[in-house]
Amino acid sequence: MRKVFATLFAVFLFFSICPQRDAFALSNVPINWGFNKGKNGQQADAGAAYNALLQKYGGIYKGNPNDKYVYLTFDNGYENGYTPKILDVLKKEKVPAIFFVTGHYLKSQPDLVKRMVKEGHIIGNHSWSHPDMTQISDAQVREELEKVKAETARLTGQKEMKYLRPARGILSERTLKLGNEEGYTHVLWSLAYLDWDVNRQRGTQFAYDSIMSQIHPGAIILLHTVSKDNANALERVIKDLKKQGYKFKSMDEFMKTEKLKK
């Protein structure tokens, strides 16, 4: 009898602590987001499998290939002194953006977060402690998301939080479903470059070229505000894209536009 109880307890413990078993009907194989970069004005492409998975759960990484719309998104895990300059540029050029923030950013930079909302930008969820969410339980995932939402609402009055960017760009079918259950749309990206490493900044021209060489209609652009290069290149990027006929739209406008076309 003791052996039976020991076996049952072991099974219970396994299902209690193993994050992969919280939603065992779904795959929890980690996906490190990636794609074939856009070039010559042609859209980036993540491939049939990733496209189908995102479509199944309403996730997005690019818009309509026939519209010269682009969407600026920023990831904010910590402050490096350049976000005020970026906000100044966005205000001057009348460009909307979405900032995906962590708990650390909310706690350490409340005034900047308030300014983002005050100036018409959206705050998105980048998780509280920036974990690989494929490696934590369902309850922990929900807690990570709820804490960011609650603190953002307390600071800024933005009570609704609709957009989620998984920390580290890692997701799985399980975490996609969990995000959906919490009311989120996963927002990935179709244009990025290695800008987050503050020890590998390569100059304003490099940042400008990296963005402009990949630009395409419907691009969701990922930038990190810790990058001095981004802060210095952003105004020129915006002005030159406007000259090329691109229009900068908000994530809310993306959702409305894309839904109308389905």
Closest C-alpha to 121, from 71, 180, 78: 71
Instruction: Give CA–CA dist 126/2, Å, rounded.
Output: 46
Query: Are the CB atoms for 34 and 228 separated by under 8 Å?
Result: no
Listed in order, strand segments (DSSP E) in the chain are: 31-32, 69-76, 97-101, 122-125, 163-164, 170-171, 185-186, 219-224, 247-248
Active-site position among 75, 132, 195, 229: 75
Q: CB under 8 Å to 229, separation ≥6 — which residues? A: 195, 201, 202, 203, 204, 206, 207
Active-site position among 132, 216, 224, 229: 224
Query: Are the CB atoms for 219 and 38 separated by under 8 Å?
Result: yes
Active site residue 224: yes
Active site residue 216: no
Enzyme catalytic residues: 75, 224
